[in-house]
Chains A and B, each alone.
Chain A
């Protein structure tokens, strides 16, 4: 079965710690995305990657970092510099930048 997996589903961290969220896809998609969703809000783009070894900042990249060393994987690191990291993080992929986006199940991060 093709799809996108994110792990873990729930993550708890203390303030000041970096944390890495996993995103893997076996859809053979070139483009991958990270979004942040706060309660009652739409999705805001953190980073996106159109191809391996290339990625661009989205609208709210400050305090986050990514890598795209393999086509299948696009991990997101939430650094201690991110002021309000508690949120629902969604990873998505599409066959190309203009294609329909498929989403993973999300990771709910709580930082205290």
Chain B
């Protein structure tokens, strides 16, 4: 079957660094994406890794290791507004449709 595993909840302190891990098991792989969703809102795209290594975008970085079927999202200098759920999603080129397979999400709780 196809599955993505990520922690259900992570707690961190404002100003700190937090890492949200994601491991995947899918029949195909075309890249790992990360999305942020605030309560009641729509998911917004954060990053995409197609190749191994680290991608940095401001305070957020995303890492991928295809040999380990593993990636993570790193958030630095945490701000209260970063409190949200974070989803990893694998693009699976099934039938050439490149469907996104979603993890269940990690709720990030930030304390002052």
Binding site for B on A (CB under 8 A): 40-45, 48, 50, 56, 58, 90, 97-98, 100-106
* A40/B104 contact (C-beta < 8 A), A45-B99, A97-B97, A98-B98 known: yes
Residues of A within 8 A of B97 (CB): 48, 50, 56, 97
Interface size class of B (residues with CB under 8 A): 20 to 34
Complex Cα–Cα for A53 and B49 (A): 32
Chain A at the B interface: SS class: loop
Q: Which residue of B lies closest to A106 (CB)?
A: B42
Residues of B within 8 A of A106 (CB): 41-42
Binding site for A on B (CB under 8 A): 4, 8, 30, 33, 41-45, 48, 87, 89, 91, 93, 96-100, 102-105
26 pairs, A vs B, C-beta closer than 8 Å? A40-B104, A40-B105, A41-B105, A42-B4, A42-B87, A42-B102, A42-B104, A42-B105, A43-B43, A43-B89, A43-B102, A45-B100, A48-B99, A56-B97, A90-B42, A90-B43, A97-B97, A97-B98, A98-B91, A98-B93, A100-B45, A101-B45, A101-B100, A102-B45, A105-B41, A106-B42
The 7 closest A-B pairs by CB, nearest first: A42-B102, A103-B42, A98-B98, A43-B102, A97-B98, A42-B104, A100-B45
Q: Is the CB of B42 within 8 A of A104?
A: yes
Residues of B within 8 A of A103 (CB): 42-44
Residues of B within 8 A of A56 (CB): 97
Complex Cα–Cα for A106 and B42 (A): 6
Q: Is the CB of A58 within 8 A of B102?
A: no
Q: Which residue of B lies closest to A56 (CB)?
A: B97
Complex Cα–Cα for A40 and B105 (A): 8
Complex Cα–Cα for A105 and B43 (A): 9
* A42/B103 contact (C-beta < 8 A), A48-B97, A97-B97 known: yes
